[in-house]
C-alpha cells in the first residue's frame, strides 16, 4: 500500500497524497497495520481503551517524547545523531526553573523564549563540534550527554518548584476538557516540519546530506551550515520539550530527561528514520509515536505486571522492526 | 581582458601533490568558448585531479586559474557551481533512495514565490524534458536504487545539463553507457557547443575523442605532454603521447587452442534472467554483450552465487554443482571481477596485500592464525606477476589508480586458483596502455587453461578479444557469434530483439 | 504513637529477619553502655556549639551519599559536614563519594574510600544486600561502618525504622479517612513504591498498608490497594508510573496516596494534576521524609501530612557515633531518629519559612 | 622486501596510527601522574588492584564488543544481558545449584542472547542499533520480572572466586581480564577470523563477493559479545555478592564511550583492541582519581564527556591534516 516503488505508470492520487510525507520508502504500512492490531487487541480486553479519557491520557503522556522526536527526526534525516537530547532538555528545564525562582520578576513569556534560546545554544554547541571539527555525532553527543547533565547538577541543591499558573497550564490544559494542548503542539510542529522537509531547500538538502555528504558537497550544498542548523533545531525542540516537561512536573530537577534518548530513538527508528540518514518522514514518526504511547497505555489497561511491560515493549519493537526488515529483504538480503 | 577574447578558462602551472604522489606537475591548459577539449591520459595521469582542482574539490598547491580573465580560486564545489562550472564526475554520485527528479535537481531545486517553496511540478516537467532529450525512458519519479548502473549514469548527465553552465566538465561520462546512449549524449554536446558552452571531455575511448572533441590535451604522470588539434592528429600519435611509446596493437589477439567444456549452464532462471543456457570451454574468452539493463550483470551474479537462482543447472568440469553463495563459487574455482570496483570489489581502507588475499584468508597458513610471511610472499608474487604499480604491498588500495585497482581484484582470483574467471567490464575506465596489459593477461590465463567470461559494452573490444560472443536481451540469449562472424551492426540488431 | 509491641508483632508477620532483629533489639537497648555517644548526641541536638574536647580533630572519616544532589541527601550531607566541623574535624578529612543509586558505583566507591584509609565509614546505599560485601571489605581492614537508613550487616544503624514510619503515616491517613466519613468514602489506596531499593525500603509503604489492614481488615483493604513501581525515587519516573495508574482506574475519584519519598510524591501529584484529576479534598496524601521538597508540598497544601525524618539532623546522630568510634567507645547498634508527623498546621513549629 | 621500501605515504600513515594510540597513552600517563601527585592513596597497590578488579567485568565486555563494532555493527543489549545473567545466577545459586553449573548455565544464557541478537541482525536483517536497543529492554525486563525487582544474594564458593578470588595474590577477575584481552588482541591482529572482521567492516559487499560468509562472521561476533556480557554479569554478581536487575544499567554507554575513546570507528573497519584497553583504563582512572580528590560525581561526569570529545577531536584533526 505504501510501497511507492513506481517504476512504471503514473502515481494514483492517494499515493500522491501519502507521498507528500513519504517520498522515501518507510515502513508506514506495517506500522499502520501494527497499530490497528494493537487497538483491536487492547479494545477487546479493556472496555476503557476506546474511551475519550483514555486517548486523552495517551496523547498527553507522550507530549515530551513527541516534541523530542520531532527535533531528532531532522537531525537523523541529515545523517546526524543526537544522544544528548535528554540532557539538553534536563539542563534547559532546570535553568528555566532556576530563572523563575531567582529572577521572579522576569515575565514567564520571556522565560519561554530563554528556554528556546538555551536549547538552541546547546544544539549549536553540538552542531559546531560535529560540523566544524568533524567529530562523529554519536561520539560528540555521547560526550555532551554527560557534560550537559553534569552541568545541570550544579543546581541540584536548589529545590526549584514552579509557581507560575501559566507555565503549569502549558502542559496540563485541555481544549474543551478533551484535547490536550500538547497534542495540538505536536500536530502543529509535525505538520510544519513535514512541510519544511518537503517544500524547502533546507529540507531537501537535508535528505541529500543524509544520503551522501560528499555528494552534497559536490552539489554545492552548504553542508556545514545545514548540519549545524539541524542540531540547533533539535536543541530548539529540546527547549520546547523542557517547557512542557517542567510544566507537567511542576518543578525543575537536574535528572529530568535522563534515559529519554533511547526512548526517542526507539520512536523515530520505528517510524522509519534510518540511523545512517537520508530516510524518514514525519508521518512515520507520528504513527510510531502513537504506537509507542499506546503500547504503554494498553499494557497498563491489560494489567500486565510492570516489569513484564518492559519486556513486551522491547519485544514489540523488535517484532515491528523485524517485519519491516523482512518486507524489505530483497534489498538487503545479499550478504 | 588581456587574453584572447575566445579563451574562457586558463589554468596555468597547476601543481597538486598528495602525500607521496605528485598528481599534477606544472600543468597548463586553456579552453575556448564553445569548444570541446578532450583530455587524454593513462590511469593515474592526473586527469580527474585536474578537473577536481578546477571544480573546487581540491585546493591546488600552486598555479593560477583564470576564468573570463579574472583570477579565481574556488574553495569548495559550491563556489565553482556558482560561477557556472558543472561537472559529471568519474564516480557515480547519485542518491539511492531519492527520486530521479530529486537527483537531477540536487541542491538546486526549482522554487516558486512566495516563500521560496519548492516547485515539484516544474521540476518533474523539466526532468521529463531532459530525459527525453537524452533519449531514455525513465520515469522521473523512480527511486534511484531501482535503476541500473547505466541508467544512473544518464541521470548524472541529466543533472549536469539541467542548469546551463559556462563550462561543462565530463569525466568519462560514457564509461557505463551503451552506443545509443552515447549518441544521444553527443547530440546534446553539439547543441550545447552551439549555444556557446565550453566542454572538457575526458575519456579513454579514442574513438569518442575523435568524434566529439576539437582539441586534445594529453597528460602523462601528472605532466602535460601537449595539446593538439583533433583534426591534425591520429590515434597512433595520441597513444604514443599517452604512453610514451608506440603501442602496436590496440587489441592484441593471440590464438589459444580451445579445449573441452569446463562450464556449462542449462536453463538458468534467476532474478533478471530467463532461461539462459551456454557453455564455456577451456582457453576460451566468451564475450557477453547486451544493452543497458539486459541482464548481463544479473547473469554473472547468478553464476557467482550473488543473485539467487530459481531454476536451472550449472556443471563445472562435467560435475553438477550448486551455487547459492559466493564461497561455493570460489570453492569451485570461479572468480568474479565485479563491475564496480570500489563498491563491490575492494576493501578500500585495507592494503593491497589484504585485498589480494581477501578470497583466500583460510589459506594463509594452517590453523587459526595468519602466517604473515606466507601472506607477504603471496601478495608479492602477484604484485610482480601482474606488474601492479604500488609503492608497497601495505598501501591502501584507495590511493591506487583504477587500472591497478582492477589488477588487485584480478590477482585475488588468480591467487585463489580460479580457472573460470568472470570479468564484468574489465576495462571500464582503464587507459589504453593498461587495457592492452589486461587483454594480454586474459590471454595468458587462457593459455594456462582457464576459461574467461567477459562482459563488455565496448563493441570494438568485444569484437576483437572474445572468441565467441553471446548477445543477451531482456534476460534471454538472443544470439551467438563466433569471432570474426560478428559485426557491430549484427550485435546491435540482436541486442535489440 | 504506636506501642512497640504492636510493631514487633506486625513486623514478624511481614518482614525479613534483619528487620525483626532490628526492632526487637530496639526494645532492649541499654542506654548506659553508650554514655559517650549519648552525651555528644544530646550536646549536638541542643546547641550549635563545638563539641567538648574536639573529638574528631586530626581524624579522617568517609561518607557516601545514596544519590548526590537530591534534596534529602543534601540535607543529610549538610548536617554531617556541619557537625563534623563542630566536632573539630577538618573539611579535607571528610572524604566524600556519591553512590548514584548504583550498586556497581557503590562498590567502586567503597574501594576508593578504603584506599584512603579512613577511620570510620558512614555508608548510605540503597541496597542492603550489596552492603554485605562492603561490610566484609571494611571488616577485613578493621574500619567500622555506620549504616544510614539502609542496614549494613554487623554495623550500627542510623536512620528511620522504615516500618515504623510507614505505620505512623498509615495511622495519620486513617485519622483523615475517619474524619472524612470512613473507609467507604475511599476508592483506592495507592502505594508508590521502590522495589529497586530492596525489602527494607519496601517496608516504607508496606507499613502503611499494614496500618490500614489492622484498622479495617485485609478483606476491605486488599481489593482497593494499588502498588506501583515509582522508579528510583525520582519525580519523572514516578510521574509516568502515576499516569499509568490513573489510566487503569478511570472511575476512581477518592484516593489515599503515599510514596517512598517526596521527589516521588512530586511526580505523582503532578501526574494527577496533568490528568486533570486533582482535587485536594479528594486526595489524602501522606509523605515520608519532609525534606525541602516535602516542606514545600506541605506549605502549598499539596500534601496533608508527612512523617518528618529530619534529614538536617542526621549529623547530630552520625557524628557523635563517629566520635565514639574515634575515641575507642561504641555507638549503640540502633540510632533511630525521633519521627514526628508534620502537617501544614504544625510545620512552622519545626521549620521557619 | 617491499615492506622496507615504504613511501612517505605509508610512513605518514603509520605515524598517524601510532599517534592515535600514543595520544591515548599520553592522556593516560598524564592522568596517572596528575593523580599520583595530588592524591597520596592513588598509587597505593590496594587502590590500583581494586580499580582493576572493579573494571574487569566491563573491560571484558568492551574487548569483545570492540570486535562487534569493527565488523560494523553494535550491541546495546550488553547492559541488559549483564542484569539478566546476574539475576539468573543468583536464582540458581539460591536454589542450590552447583557453582560450576551456574557458570555454565549463565554462559549458555549469554550465548542464547547473543544468538538471538545475531539472528535479528544477520538473518532478519534488522539494523543492529535498533535491534539491540529493543532486546536491551527485553533482557532488562526479564531480569526485573524474574527477580520481582529485588536483589538476590549470589554467594557460593565457585562464584565467589570468580570475582573475589585470588591466584598468586592477583585477583582472579584481573587475570580473566588480561586473558580475554590477550585473546581478543591475537584474534584481531593475527587470526584469519579477525582479518575477516576487519574486511567486513571496511566493505561487506566486497567481502561477500570474495567468498567471506559475512552473516556467519557477524553472527559469531554477536554470539561472543553475548557470552562476554554473561561473563561480565557473573563477575559483577560475584564482585557485589548479589544478582540485581539493575546491574549493568547504563553500562552500554560507558563501554561504548571507552571503545570509541580507544579509536574504534562507528560503522566499522577501524579499531584496535589495545585502544579499547587504554580507553577502559582512562575512564576508570578518571573516575577513581577524581573521586579520590573528593570531586562531586557530576564534575566527574563532565570530565569524562570532555575527555571523550577532546581525545576523539585530536584523532579527527590529525586525520584531516593528513588528508590535506
Ligand atoms: N585523494 C587522493 N589521495 C591520494 N592520492 C590521490 C588522490 N586522488 C588521486 N590520487 C593520485 O593522484 C594520481 C592522479 O590521479 P587521477 O585520479 O587524477 O588520475 P586519472 O588520470 O583521473 O586516472 P583514471 O583514468 O584512472 O581516472 C594517481 O596516482 C592517484 O593515485
Ligand atoms: N535485485 C534486483 N531486484 C530487482 N530488479 C533487478 C535486480 N537486479 C537486476 N534487476 C533488474 O533486472 C534487469 C537486468 O539488470 P542487470 O543489472 O543484470 O542488467 P545489465 O545488462 O547488467 O545492465 P547494465 O549494463 O546497465 O549494467 C534490470 O532491469 C534491473 O533493473
Ligand atoms: Mg580519473
Ligand atoms: Mg548491470
pTM for this one? 0.86
CB contact under 8 A, A220 and B111: no
Q: Three-state DSSP class for D270? A: coil
Specify the residue for cell string 481488615: C217
Q: Please report the atom of ligand 2 found closest to the CA of residue B301.
A: 18
Question: DSSP class of residue D191?
Answer: B
| In-domain check, residue B409 | yes
CB contact under 8 A, B370 and D5: no
Closest residue of chain C to D291, computed from CA coordinates: C97
Q: Is B428 in the pocket of ligand 1 (CB under 6 A)?
A: no
Q: Please report the atom of ligand 1 found closest to the CA of residue B431.
A: 25
Instruction: State whether B171 and B228 are in the same domain.
Output: yes
- In this prediction, the residues of chain B whose per-residue pLDDT falls under 70 are 1-5, 19-20, 245-249, 497
Which bound ligand lies closest to the C-alpha atom of B397? Answer: 1
Query: Which residues neighbour ligand 3 (ion) by CB within 5 Å?
Result: B 48, 90
The pLDDT assigned to B19 comes to: 66
Least trusted range by pLDDT, from A48-62, C200-214, D232-246: A48-62
Give the total number of structural domains in chain B: 2
Distance from the Cα of B440 to chain A's closest Cα (Å) equals 33
Q: Is B46 in the pocket of ligand 1 (CB under 6 A)?
A: yes
| In-domain check, residue B59 | yes
How much is the mean pLDDT over chain C?
A: 85
The pLDDT assigned to A10 comes to: 47
| In-domain check, residue A38 | no
Distance from the Cα of A144 to chain D's closest Cα (Å) equals 6
Least trusted range by pLDDT, from A3-12, A321-330, C157-166: A3-12
Instruction: State whether B269 and B238 are in the same domain.
Output: no
| In-domain check, residue B22 | yes
Domain carrying residue A141: 49-330
C80: pLDDT strictly greater than 90: yes
The pLDDT assigned to D178 comes to: 95
Instruction: State whether B205 and B129 are in the same domain.
Output: yes
Residue-wise DSSP of A123-173 = HHHHHHIIIII---HHHHHHHHHHHHHHHHGGGTTS-EE---HHHHHHHH-
Tell me whether strands C157-159 and C188-193 are parallel, antiparallel or unpaired. unpaired
C-alpha cell at B161: 545539463
Q: Give the mean pLDDT of A87-111.
A: 92
Mutating which of A196, A220, A281 best tests the B interface, going by the most B Cβ atoms within 10 A?
Answer: A220
CB contact under 8 A, A161 and C296: yes
| In-domain check, residue A18 | no
Q: Please give the distance, rounded to the nearest whole angstrom, from the Cα atom of residue B225 to the centre of ligand 4.
A: 36
Return d(Cα B415, Cα B413) in angstroms, integer: 5
Instruction: State whether B239 and B265 are in the same domain.
Output: no
Burial per residue of B457-479, b for 16 or more beta-carbon CB atoms within 10 angstroms, e otherwise: bbbebbbbbbbbbbbbbebebbb
Instruction: State whether B232 and B265 are in the same domain.
Output: no
Tell me whether strands A251-252 and A160-161 are parallel, antiparallel or unpaired. antiparallel
> Would you tell me the crossing angle of helices A85-102 and A63-77 to the nearest 10 degrees?
130
Judged by a CB distance cut-off of 8 A, whether residue D292 touches chain C is yes
Sorting pLDDT into bands at 50, 70 and 90, what band is D19? low
| Max CA pair span of chain A | 66
Instruction: State whether B237 and B277 are in the same domain.
Output: no
Q: Which of B301, B298, B335, B299 is nearest to B316 (CA)?
A: B335
The pLDDT assigned to A247 comes to: 92
A20: pLDDT strictly greater than 50: no
Return d(Cα B277, Cα C8) in angstroms, integer: 91
Return d(Cα C175, Cα C186) in angstroms, integer: 13
| C-alpha distance from residue A104 to each of A87, A100, A164, B369 (Å) | 25, 5, 10, 70
Q: Which of B474, B490, D251 is nearest to B482 (CA)?
A: B490
CATH number of the domain to which D197 belongs: 1.10.3470
| In-domain check, residue A142 | yes
C-alpha cell at C223: 481489593
Question: Residue B380: its chain D contacts at CB < 8 A?
Answer: 1-2
- β-sheet bridge partners, residue C63: C96, C122
CATH number of the domain to which B409 belongs: 3.40.50.300
D82: pLDDT strictly greater than 90: yes
Nearest CA to ligand 1 atom 29: B44
Residue-wise DSSP of B291-339 = -TTSSHHHHHHHHTTSS-EEEEEEEETTEEE--SSHHHHHHTTEEEE-S
Q: Where a domain ends, among B243, B271, B306? A: B243
Domain carrying residue D175: 11-25+42-323
Q: Which residues are CB-contacts of A212 (< 8 A; sequence separation ≥ 6)?
A: A278, B93, B95
Q: Is B136 in the pocket of ligand 2 (CB under 6 A)?
A: no
The pLDDT assigned to C16 comes to: 41
The pLDDT assigned to D173 comes to: 94
Least trusted range by pLDDT, from A126-140, C91-105, D6-20: D6-20
Q: Determine how many CB atoms are found less than 10 A away from the CB of residue B148.
A: 17
Instruction: State whether B329 and B406 are in the same domain.
Output: yes
Beta-sheet strands, E only, within D157-210? 166-167, 170-171
Mutating which of A57, A68, A101, A167 best tests the C interface, going by the most C Cβ atoms within 10 A?
Answer: A57
D95-147 pLDDT, tens digit each: 989 989 999 999 999 999 999 999 999 988 888 888 898 899 899 999 999 98
Instruction: State whether B383 and B490 are in the same domain.
Output: yes
CB contact under 8 A, A172 and C276: yes
CB contact under 8 A, A57 and C246: yes
* Cα Rg of chain C (Å, integer): 20
The pLDDT assigned to A14 comes to: 58
Q: Where a domain ends, among B208, B243, B278? A: B243
The pLDDT assigned to A289 comes to: 92
Q: Determine how many CB atoms are found less than 10 A away from the CB of residue C13.
A: 9
* Cα Rg of chain D (Å, integer): 20
Question: Residue B102: its chain A contacts at CB < 8 A?
Answer: 23, 204, 207-208
Judging contact as 3 or more Cβ pairs under 8 Å, the answer for A and C is yes
| In-domain check, residue A100 | yes
Instruction: State whether B211 and B109 are in the same domain.
Output: yes
Q: Which of D256, D65, D253, D247 is nearest to D140 (CA)?
A: D247
Give the ranges where B105-170 is alpha helix by DSSP (H): 120-133, 149-162
Q: Give the mean pLDDT of C235-255.
A: 88
Q: Is B43 in the pocket of ligand 1 (CB under 6 A)?
A: yes
Q: Contact, A278 vs C225, CB < 8 A? A: no
Q: Three-state DSSP class for B458? A: coil
Distance from the Cα of C141 to chain D's closest Cα (Å) equals 11
Neighbour order of strands in the sheet with B309-316: B273-281, B261-270, B309-316, B319-321
CB contact under 8 A, B344 and D205: yes
Return d(Cα B299, Cα D306) in angstroms, integer: 54
Give the total number of structural domains in chain A: 1
Nearest CA to ligand 2 atom 14: B295
> Would you tell me the crossing angle of helices A260-270 and A306-327 to the nearest 10 degrees?
30
Q: Please report the atom of ligand 1 found closest to the CA of residue B41.
A: 21
CB contact under 8 A, A217 and B76: yes
C324: pLDDT strictly greater than 60: yes
The pLDDT assigned to D63 comes to: 96
Question: Residue B96: its chain A contacts at CB < 8 A?
Answer: 211
CATH number of the domain to which A164 belongs: 1.10.3470
The pLDDT assigned to D183 comes to: 96
The pLDDT assigned to A22 comes to: 43
Q: Determine how many CB atoms are found less than 10 A away from the CB of residue C222.
A: 12
Specify the residue for cell string 573546487: B56
Instruction: State whether B225 and B301 are in the same domain.
Output: no
Question: Residue B306: its chain D contacts at CB < 8 A?
Answer: 208-209
Interface of A with C in 297-316 (CB under 8 A): 297, 300-301, 303, 306-307
For residue C71, the Cα-to-chain-centroid distance in whole angstroms is 13
The pLDDT assigned to A46 comes to: 83
Distance from the Cα of D126 to chain A's closest Cα (Å) equals 6
Q: Which of B137, B117, B114, B113 is nearest to B127 (CA)?
A: B137
Q: Is B292 in the pocket of ligand 2 (CB under 6 A)?
A: yes
The pLDDT assigned to D14 comes to: 47
D153-168 pLDDT, tens digit each: 888 888 889 888 889 8
Domain carrying residue B178: 7-243
D211-242 pLDDT, tens digit each: 999 999 999 999 999 999 999 999 999 999 99
Instruction: State whether B198 and B324 are in the same domain.
Output: no
Q: Please give the distance, rounded to the nearest whole angstrom, from the Cα atom of residue B474 to the centre of ligand 2.
A: 10
Q: Please report the atom of ligand 2 found closest to the CA of residue B148.
A: 26
Dihedral (Cα; B170, B176, B181, B184), 10-degree rounding: 0
Amino acid at each position: 500500500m505504501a510501497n511507492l516503488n513506481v517504476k512504471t505508470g503514473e502515481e494514483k492520487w492517494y499515493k500522491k497524497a501519502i507521498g507528500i510525507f513519504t517520498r522515501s520508502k518507510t515502513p508506514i504500512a506495517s506500522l499502520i497495520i501494527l497499530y490497528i492490531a494493537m487497538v483491536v487487541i487492547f479494545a477487546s480486553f479493556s472496555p476503557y481503551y476506546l474511551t475519550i479519557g483514555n486517548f486523552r491520557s495517551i496523547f498527553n503522556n507522550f507530549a515530551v517524547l513527541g516534541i523530542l522526536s520531532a527535533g531528532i527526526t531532522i537531525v537523523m534525516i541529515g545523517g546526524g545523531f543526537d544522544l544528548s537530547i535528554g540532557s539538553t532538555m534536563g539542563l534547559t528545564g532546570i535553568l528555566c526553573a532556576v530563572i523563575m525562582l531567582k529572577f521572579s520578576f522576569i515575565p514567564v513569556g520571556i522565560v519561554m523564549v530563554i528556554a528556546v534560546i538555551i536549547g538552541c545554544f546547546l544544539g549549536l554547541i553540538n552542531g559546531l563540534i560535529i560540523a566544524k571539527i568533524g567529530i562523529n555525532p554519536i561520539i560528540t553527543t555521547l560526550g555532551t550527554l554527560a557534560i550537559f547533565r553534569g552541568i545541570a547538577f550544579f543546581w541540584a541543591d536548589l529545590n526549584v518548584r514552579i509557581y507560575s499558573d501559566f507555565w503549569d497550564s502549558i502542559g496540563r490544559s485541555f481544549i474543551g476538557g478533551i484535547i490536550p494542548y500538547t497534542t495540538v503542539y505536536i500536530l502543529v510542529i509535525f505538520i510544519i516540519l513535514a512541510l519544511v522537509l518537503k517544500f524547502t531547500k533546507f529540507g531537501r538538502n537535508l535528505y541529500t546530506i543524509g544520503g551522501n555528504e560528499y555528494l552534497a558537497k559536490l552539489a554545492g550544498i552548504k553542508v556545514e551550515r545545514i548540519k549545524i542548523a539541524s542540531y540547533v533545531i533539535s536543541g530548539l525542540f529540546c527547549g520546547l520539550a523542557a517547557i512542557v516537561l517542567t510544566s507537567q512536573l511542576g518543578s525543575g530537577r537536574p535528572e529530568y530527561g535522563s534515559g529519554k534518548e533511547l526512548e526517542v530513538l526507539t520512536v523515530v527508528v520505528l517510524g522509519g528514520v534510518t540511523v545512517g540518514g537520508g530516510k524518514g518522514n514525519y508521518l512515520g514518526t507520528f504513527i510510531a509515536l502513537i504506537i509507542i504511547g499506546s503500547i504503554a497505555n494498553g499494557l497498563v489497561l491489560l494489567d500486565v505486571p510492570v516489569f513484564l511491560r518492559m519486556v513486551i515493549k522491547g519485544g514489540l519493537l523488535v517484532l515491528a522492526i523485524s517485519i519491516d526488515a523482512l518486507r524489505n529483504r530483497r534489498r538487503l538480503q545479499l550478504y | 581582458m588581456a587574453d584572447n577574447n575566445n579563451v574562457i578558462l586558463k589554468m596555468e602551472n597547476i601543481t597538486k601533490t598528495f602525500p607521496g604522489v605528485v598528481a599534477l606537475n606544472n600543468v597548463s591548459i586553456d579552453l575556448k568558448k564553445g569548444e570541446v577539449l578532450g583530455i587524454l591520459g593513462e590511469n593515474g595521469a592526473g586527469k580527474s585531479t585536474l578537473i577536481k582542482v578546477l571544480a573546487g574539490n581540491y585546493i591546488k598547491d600552486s598555479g593560477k586559474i583564470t576564468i573570463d580573465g579574472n583570477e579565481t580560486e574556488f574553495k569548495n564545489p559550491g563556489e565553482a557551481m556558482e560561477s557556472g562550472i558543472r561537472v559529471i564526475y568519474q564516480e557515480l554520485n547519485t542518491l539511492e533512495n531519492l527520486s530521479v527528479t530529486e537527483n537531477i535537481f540536487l541542491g538546486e531545486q526549482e522554487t516558486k514565490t512566495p516563500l521560496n517553496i519548492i516547485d515539484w511540478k516544474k521540476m518533474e516537467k523539466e526532468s521529463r524534458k531532459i530525459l527525453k532529450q537524452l533519449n531514455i525512458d525513465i520515469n522521473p519519479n523512480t527511486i534511484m536504487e531501482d535503476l541500473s548502473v547505466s541508467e544512473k549514469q544518464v541521470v548524472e548527465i541529466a543533472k549536469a545539463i539541467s542548469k546551463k553552465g559556462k563550462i561543462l566538465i565530463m569525466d568519462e561520462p560514457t564509461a557505463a553507457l551503451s552506443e545509443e546512449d552515447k549518441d544521444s549524449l553527443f547530440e546534446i554536446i553539439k547543441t550545447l557547443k552551439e549555444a556557446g558552452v565550453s566542454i572538457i571531455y575526458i575519456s579513454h575511448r579514442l574513438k569518442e575523442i575523435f568524434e566529439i572533441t576539437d582539441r586534445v590535451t594529453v597528460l602523462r604522470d601528472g605532466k602535460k605532454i601537449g595539446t593538439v588539434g583533433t583534426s591534425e592528429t591520429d590515434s597512433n600519435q595520441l597513444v604514443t603521447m599517452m604512453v610514451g611509446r608506440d603501442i602496436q596493437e590496440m587489441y592484441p589477439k593471440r590464438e589459444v587452442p580451445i579445449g573441452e567444456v569446463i562450464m556449462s549452464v542449462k536453463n538458468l532462471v534467476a532474478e533478471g534472467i530467463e532461461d539462459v543456457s551456454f557453455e564455456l570451454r577451456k582457453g576460451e574468452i566468451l564475450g557477453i554483450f547486451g544493452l543497458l539493463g539486459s541482464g548481463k550483470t544479473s547473469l554473472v551474479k547468478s553464476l557467482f552465487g550473488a543473485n539467487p537462482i530459481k531454476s536451472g543447472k550449472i556443471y563445472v568440469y562435467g560435475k553438477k554443482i550448486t551455487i547459492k553463495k559466493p564461497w561455493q563459487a570460489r570453492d569451485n574455482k570461479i572468480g568474479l571481477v565485479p563491475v564496480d570496483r570500489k563498491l563491490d570489489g575492494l576493501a578500500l581502507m585495507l592494503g593491497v596485500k589484504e585485498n589480494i588475499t581477501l578470497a583466500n584468508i583460510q589459506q594463509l597458513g594452517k590453523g587459526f592464525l595468519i602466517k604473515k610471511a606466507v601472506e607477504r610472499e603471496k601478495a608479492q608474487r602477484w604484485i610482480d606477476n601482474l606488474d601492479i604499480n604500488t609503492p608497497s604491498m601495505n598501501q591502501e588500495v584507495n590511493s591506487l589508480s583504477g587500472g591497478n585497482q582492477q589488477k588487485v581484484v584480478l590477482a585475488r582470483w588468480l591467487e585463489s586458483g580460479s580457472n573460470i574467471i568472470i570479468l564484468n567490464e574489465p576495462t571500464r575506465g582503464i587507459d589504453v596502455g593498461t587495457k592492452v596489459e589486461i587483454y594480454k593477461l586474459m590471454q595468458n590465463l587462457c593459455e594456462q587453461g582457464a576459461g574467461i567470461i567477459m562482459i563488455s559494452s565496448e563493441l570494438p573490444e568485444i569484437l576483437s578479444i572474445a572468441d565467441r560472443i553471446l548477445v543477451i536481451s531482456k534476460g534471454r540469449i538472443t544470439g551467438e557469434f563466433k569471432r570474426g562472424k560478428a559485426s557491430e551492426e549484427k550485435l546491435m540488431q540482436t541486442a535489440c530483439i | 504513637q504506636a506501642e512497640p509491641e504492636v510493631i514487633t508483632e506486625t513486623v514478624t508477620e511481614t518482614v525479613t529477619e534483619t528487620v525483626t532483629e532490628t526492632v526487637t533489639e530496639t526494645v532492649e537497648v541499654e542506654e548506659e553502655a553508650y554514655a559517650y555517644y549519648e552525651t555528644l548526641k544530646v550536646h549536638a541536638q541542643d546547641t550549635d556549639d563545638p563539641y567538648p574536647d574536639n573529638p574528631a580533630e586530626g581524624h579522617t572519616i568517609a561518607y557516601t551519599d545514596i544519590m548526590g544532589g537530591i534534596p534529602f541527601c543534601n540535607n543529610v550531607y549538610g548536617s554531617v559536614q556541619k557537625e563534623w566541623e563542630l566536632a573539630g574535624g577538618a573539611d579535607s578529612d571528610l572524604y566524600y563519594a556519591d553512590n548514584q543509586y548504583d550498586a556497581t558505583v557503590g562498590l567502586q566507591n567503597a574501594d576508593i574510600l578504603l584506599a584512603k584509609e579512613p577511620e570510620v565509614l558512614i555508608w548510605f546505599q540503597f541496597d542492603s544486600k550489596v552492603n554485605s560485601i562492603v561490610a566484609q571489605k571494611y571488616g577485613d581492614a578493621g574500619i567500622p561502618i555506620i549504616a544510614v537508613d539502609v542496614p549494613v550487616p554487623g554495623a550500627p544503624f542510623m536512620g528511620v525504622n522504615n516500618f515504623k514510619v510507614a505505620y505512623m503515616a498509615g495511622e495519620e491517613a486513617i485519622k483523615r479517612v475517619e474524619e472524612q466519613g470512613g473507609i467507604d468514602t475511599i476508592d483506592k489506596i495507592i502505594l508508590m513504591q521502590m522495589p529497586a531499593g530492596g525489602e527494607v525500603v519496601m517496608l516504607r509503604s508496606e507499613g502503611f498498608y499494614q496500618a490500614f489492614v489492622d484498622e479495617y481488615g485485609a478483606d476491605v483493604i486488599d481489593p482497593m490497594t494499588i502498588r506501583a513501581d515509582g522508579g528510583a525515587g525520582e519525580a519523572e519516573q514516578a510521574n509516568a508510573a502515576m499516569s499509568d495508574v490513573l489510566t487503569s482506574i478511570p472511575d476512581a475519584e477518592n484516593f489515599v496516596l503515599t510514596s517512598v519519598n517526596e521527589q516521588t510524591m512530586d511526580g505523582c501529584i503532578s501526574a494527577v494534576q496533568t490528568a486533570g484529576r486533582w482535587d485536594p479534598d479528594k486526595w489524602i496524601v501522606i509523605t515520608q521524609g519532609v525534606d525541602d521538597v516535602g516542606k514545600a508540598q506541605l506549605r502549598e497544601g499539596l500534601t496533608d501530612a508527612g512523617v518528618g525524618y529530619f534529614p538536617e539532623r542526621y549529623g547530630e546522630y552520625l557524628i557523635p557515633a563517629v566520635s565514639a568510634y574515634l575515641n575507642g567507645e561504641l555507638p549503640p547498634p540502633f540510632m533511630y531518629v525521633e519521627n514526628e508527623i508534620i502537617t501544614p498546621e504544625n510545620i512552622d513549629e519545626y521549620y521557619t519559612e | 622486501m617491499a615492506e622496507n621500501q615504504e613511501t612517505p605515504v605509508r610512513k605518514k600513515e603509520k605515524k598517524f596510527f601510532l599517534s592515535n594510540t600514543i595520544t591515548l597513552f599520553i592522556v593516560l600517563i598524564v592522568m596517572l601522574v596528575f593523580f599520583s601527585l595530588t592524591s597520596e592513596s592513588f598509587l597505593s597497590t590496594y587502590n590500583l588492584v581494586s580499580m582493576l578488579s572493579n573494571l574487569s567485568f566491563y573491560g571484558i565486555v568492551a574487548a569483545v564488543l570492540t570486535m562487534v563494532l569493527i565488523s560494523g555493527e553494535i550491541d546495546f543489549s550488553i547492559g541488559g544481558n549483564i542484569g539478566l545473567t546476574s539475576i539468573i545466577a543468583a536464582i540458581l545459586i539460591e536454589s542450590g545449584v552447583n557453582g560450576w553449573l551456574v557458570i555454565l548455565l549463565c554462559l549458555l544464557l549469554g550465548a542464547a542472547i547473543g544468538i538471538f541478537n545475531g539472528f535479528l541482525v544477520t538473518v532478519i536483517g534488522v539494523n543492529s542499533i535498533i535491534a539491540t536497543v529493543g532486546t536491551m529492554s527485553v533482557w532488562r525486563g526479564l531480569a526485573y520480572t524474574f527477580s520481582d525487582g529485588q536483589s538476590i544474594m549470589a554467594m557460593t564458593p565457585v562464584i565467589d572466586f570468580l570475582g573475589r578470588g585470588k591466584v598468586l595474590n592477583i585477583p582472579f577477575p584481573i587475570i580473566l581480564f588480561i586473558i580475554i584481552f590477550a585473546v581478543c588482541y591475537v584474534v584481531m591482529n593475527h587470526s584469519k577470523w579477525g582479518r575477516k572482521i576487519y574486511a567486513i567492516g571496511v566493505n561487506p559487499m566486497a567481502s561477500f563477493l570474495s567468498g567471506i560468509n559475512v552473516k556467519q562472521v557477524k553472527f559469531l561476533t554477536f554470539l561472543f559479545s553475548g557470552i562476554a556480557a554473561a561473563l561480565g554479569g557473573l563477575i559483577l554478581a560475584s564482585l557485589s555478592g548479589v544478582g540485581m536487575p539493575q546491574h549493568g544499567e547504563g553500562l552500554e554507554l560507558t563501554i561504548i564511550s571507552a571503545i570509541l575513546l580507544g579509536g574504534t570507528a562507528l560503522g566499522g573497519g577501524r579499531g584496535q583492541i589495545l585502544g579499547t584497553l587504554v580507553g577502559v583504563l582512562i575512564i576508570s582512572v578518571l573516575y577513581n582519581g577524581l573521586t579520590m580528590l573528593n570531586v562531586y560525581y557530576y564534575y566527574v561526569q563532565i570530565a569524562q564527556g570532555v575527555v571523550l570529545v577532546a581525545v576523539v577531536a585530536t584523532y579527527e584533526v590529525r586525520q584531516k591534516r593528513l588528508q590535506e
